[in-house]
């Protein structure tokens, strides 16, 4: 047995709590700032304990927005982010699972070529093709729309690869059995393969939802209208004006609201999250 | 590897691949091709005529000291972010791997920052270390440091590195913990029986067995530092002061935004593309080794 003396255990507990404090402190500070008065914060006299402006700040943030820089209720930004994140996550899963189904369960000319064509997009992140992609979306009149926010991102090499690997492990007997029952390709997919893929889909959804919610560069490029802003873009615009005019409690409340959905997903669905993360990175 | 049991259909498989294929061709390959073509073209000042100039855009780019500096800076940032985040995460993972009471709680409390978006990370850190109102800036000044990352380039760079490393701790922690837990208990016990003290056990047994994970994470962290720091930089420093926090991706963005030189911006994109291909290639070579390991 490897013995852990009591003293070493104490050290481990202490180091872990220091780690947690480092990880949590910036977020705690944001929350504290969101409950205090702007004048106090701007003077650099901020207290490290929550103040009494919680309801006032969050009400204004969600329903009204800043009075100067964005003037857009953060509630609306969150709705935009939610729609975008759901479209991206569900869209990626949908197109990937049917591509993988075709590649695994059918033989057709250019089968592997098509697979590689999807796979190589892994090497073409939006950052390396910023302006040409923008131009295409502009030519298709998709600026400032949910389609423009999500459609160009609805392709996933990793998800396709993951479903392909998973389908390869599904026993052939299942297909033969359902064929005896008279099932065609649609029935087999819907009644057999989809229920088997549930856990994989859920794990992928958790990762892809976070990925979608946290998109930044792409929405920054293609949204110009205030009412199409996502929360990540909104928060950036709130601190663009000169420092003196920044409404810090609202900025910090927005930061807290921007973190809430994805952090909730990670904590509440930790098992799926870890599984999704490890599987997609393989 | 192929399935034995399959369906027969001529058109259905194409219809199933079609949605993803359409998106990939329209939004990935076509723009990438455009960038490549554009990088060989030169447009006159009025955008009236374009001419094919071979590698002139690339040559001009490499003659530009600012581009060279951006390359060096990006590599330096990547290295600093990867090393600081990996070492801290490894320390935490080694501690969390011990049979402690509440280890699941520790894991939960350490992994959630993965979900914080880069622009939010930028906002959190600039607020904490803002020269005039930052809570931590008070203490830095009390220590006699003239802290102003909005004016001092080195301090701005340090701030970006710290914030980016902070966000990546949870990811690295999770993979280190998984790596540590996959090391057979018997190997560590054998070392303990041989009389190796914990520190020695770590460096001679655990660390070498963890090297595939470390290498994998190193590549992932470099890719992260290249691309995902965009949001952090954009909300914290916007590449400034001067150009002291301008990375390659940020430079493509600003150069294209100013609308100045399309050819140069495209050439920069193509160079980034090559870098991604190299990094992904390394990652995949390594993954193969991990499987056989």
Question: Where are the domains positioned within chain B?
Answer: 62-292
Give the mean pLDDT of chain B. 85
| A272–chain B Cβ distance below 8 A for any pair | no
Q: How many residues does chain B have?
A: 293
Q: What whole-number distance in Å separates Cα of residue B279 and Cα of residue B176?
A: 21
Query: Is B17 within 8 Å of A262 when comparing Cβ atoms?
Result: no
Nearest to B112 by CA among A206, A279, A24: A24
Testing the interface with A: which of B2, B16, B260 to mutate, by most A Cβ within 10 A?
B16
* Residues pairing with B43 in the sheet: B50
% residues pLDDT > 70 (chain A): 95
Q: What whole-number distance in Å separates Cα of residue B159 and Cα of residue B126?
A: 8
Q: Which helix or strand (DSSP H or E) is residue A276 part of? A: helix A270-280
**CA angle (B115 as vertex; B112, B156 as ends), nearest 5:** 100
Query: Is A117 within 8 Å of B273 when comparing Cβ atoms?
Result: no
- Buried residues in B170-205 as b, exposed as e (16+ CB within 10 A): bbbbbbbbebbeeeeeeebeebbeeebebeebbeeb
| Strand spans (E) along chain B | 41-43, 50-52
Instruction: State yes or no: pLDDT of A172 exceeds 80.
Output: yes
Mean pLDDT confidence for A138-150: 89
| A270–chain B Cβ distance below 8 A for any pair | yes
pLDDT bin (cut points 50, 70, 90) of residue B293 is very low
pLDDT bin (cut points 50, 70, 90) of residue A83 is very high
3-state secondary structure of B51: strand
| Matching CATH number, A6-280, of 3.40.50.720, 1.10.630.10, 1.10.3720.10, 3.30.43.10 | 1.10.3720.10
Query: Is A129 within 8 Å of B32 when comparing Cβ atoms?
Result: yes
> Tokens 């939610």 correspond to what residue?
A82
Tell me if the bond preceding B241 is cis, omega within 30° of 0. Answer: yes
Mean pLDDT confidence for A137-145: 89
Cβ contact B67:B272 at 8 Å: no
Per residue in A198-250, pLDDT (tens digit) is 988 999 999 999 999 999 999 998 988 888 899 999 888 888 655 667 788 88
Q: What whole-number distance in Å separates Cα of residue B115 and Cα of residue B62?
A: 37
Nearest to B92 by CA among A17, A277, A273: A17
Cβ contact A228:A80 at 8 Å: yes
Testing the interface with B: which of A4, A15, A16, A206 to mutate, by most B Cβ within 10 A?
A16
Instruction: State yes or no: pLDDT of B31 exceeds 50.
Output: yes
Q: How distant, in Å, are the alpha carbons of B123, B139, B165 from that of B131?
A: 14, 11, 21
Secondary structure in 3-state letters for B194-218: CCCCHHHHHHHHHHHHHHHHHHHHH
CATH of domain B62-292: 1.10.3720.10
What is the dihedral angle through the alpha carbons of B130, B131, B134, B137, rounded to the nearest 10 degrees?
A: 120
| A24–chain B Cβ distance below 8 A for any pair | yes
Per residue in B184-216, pLDDT (tens digit) is 888 888 888 887 787 888 888 888 888 888 888
pLDDT bin (cut points 50, 70, 90) of residue B290 is very low
Shortest CA gap B216–chain A (Å): 10
Shortest CA gap A142–chain B (Å): 12
Instruction: State yes or no: pLDDT of A132 exceeds 80.
Output: yes
pLDDT bin (cut points 50, 70, 90) of residue B82 is very high
Inter-chain Cβ pairs, chain A and chain B, closer than 8 A: 289
> Which stretches within A106-156 are classed as H helix?
111-119, 130-139, 146-150
Per residue in B131-180, pLDDT (tens digit) is 888 888 888 888 878 888 888 888 889 999 999 999 999 999 999 998 88
The reported pLDDT for the residue numbered A244 is 64
The reported pLDDT for the residue numbered B291 is 38
Per residue in A54-75, pLDDT (tens digit) is 888 887 777 777 776 667 888 8
Q: How distant, in Å, are the alpha carbons of A120, B18, B27, B152, B183 from that of B14?
A: 19, 6, 19, 57, 44
Query: Can you read off the two tokens belonging to residue B154?
Result: 């080195």
């Amino acid at each position: 047995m490897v013995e852990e003396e009591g003293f070493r255990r104490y050290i481990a507990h202490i180091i872990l709590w220091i780690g947690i404090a480092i990880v949590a402190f910036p977020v705690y500070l944001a929350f504290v700032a969101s409950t205090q008065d702007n004048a106090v914060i701007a003077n650099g006299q901020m207290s490290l304990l929550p103040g009494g402006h919680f309801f006032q700040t969050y009400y204004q943030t969600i329903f009204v927005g800043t009075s100067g820089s964005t003037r857009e209720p953060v509630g609306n930004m969150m709705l935009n982010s939610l729609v975008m994140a759901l479209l991206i996550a569900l869209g990626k899963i949908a197109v990937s699972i049917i591509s993988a189904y075709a590649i695994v369960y059918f033989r057709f000319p250019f089968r592997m070529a098509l697979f590689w064509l999807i796979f190589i997009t892994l090497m073409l992140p939006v950052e390396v093709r910023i302006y040409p992609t923008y131009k295409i979306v502009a030519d298709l009149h998709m600026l400032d729309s949910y389609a423009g926010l999500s459609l160009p991102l609805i392709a996933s090499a990793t998800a396709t690869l993951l479903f392909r690997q998973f389908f390869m492990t599904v026993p052939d007997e299942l297909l033969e059995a359902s064929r005896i029952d008279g099932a065609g390709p649609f029935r087999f997919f819907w009644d057999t393969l989809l229920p088997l893929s549930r856990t994989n889909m859920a794990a992928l959804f958790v990762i892809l939802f976070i990925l979608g919610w946290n998109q930044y560069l792409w929405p920054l490029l293609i949204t110009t209208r205030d009412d199409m802003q996502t929360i990540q873009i909104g928060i950036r615009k709130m601190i663009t004006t000169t420092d003196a005019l920044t409404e810090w409690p609202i900025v910090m409340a927005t930061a807290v609201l921007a973190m809430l959905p994805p952090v909730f997903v990670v904590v509440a669905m930790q098992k799926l999250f870890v599984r999704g993360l490890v599987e997609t990175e393989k | 590897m192929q399935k034995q049991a399959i369906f027969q259909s001529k058109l259905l498989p194409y219809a199933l691949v079609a949605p993803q294929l359409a998106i990939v061709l329209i939004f990935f390959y076509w723009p990438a091709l455009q960038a490549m073509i554009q990088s060989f073209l030169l447009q006159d000042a009025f955008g009236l005529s374009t001419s094919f100039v071979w590698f002139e855009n690339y040559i001009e780019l490499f003659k530009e000291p600012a581009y060279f500096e951006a390359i060096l800076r990006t590599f330096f940032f990547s290295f600093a972010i990867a090393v600081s985040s990996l070492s801290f995460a490894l320390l935490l993972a080694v501690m969390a791997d011990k049979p402690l009471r509440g280890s699941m709680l520790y894991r939960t409390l350490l992994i959630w920052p993965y979900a914080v978006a880069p622009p939010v990370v930028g906002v959190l850190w600039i607020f904490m270390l803002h020269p005039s109102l930052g809570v931590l800036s008070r203490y830095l000044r009390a220590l006699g440091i003239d802290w102003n990352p909005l004016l001092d380039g080195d301090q701005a760079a340090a701030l970006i590195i710290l914030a980016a490393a902070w966000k990546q701790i949870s990811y690295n922690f999770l993979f280190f913990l998984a790596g540590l837990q996959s090391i057979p208990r018997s190997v560590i016990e054998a070392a303990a029986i041989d009389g190796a003290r914990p520190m020695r056990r770590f460096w001679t047994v655990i660390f070498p067995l963890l090297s595939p994970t470390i290498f994998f994470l190193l590549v992932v962290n470099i890719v992260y530092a290249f691309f995902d720091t965009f949001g952090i930089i954009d909300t914290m420093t916007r590449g400034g002061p001067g150009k002291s926090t301008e990375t390659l991706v940020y430079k493509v963005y600003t150069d294209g935004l100013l609308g100045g030189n399309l050819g140069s911006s495209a050439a920069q994109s193509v160079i980034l593309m090559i870098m991604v291909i190299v990094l992904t290639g390394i990652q995949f070579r390594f993954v193969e080794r991990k499987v056989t390991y």
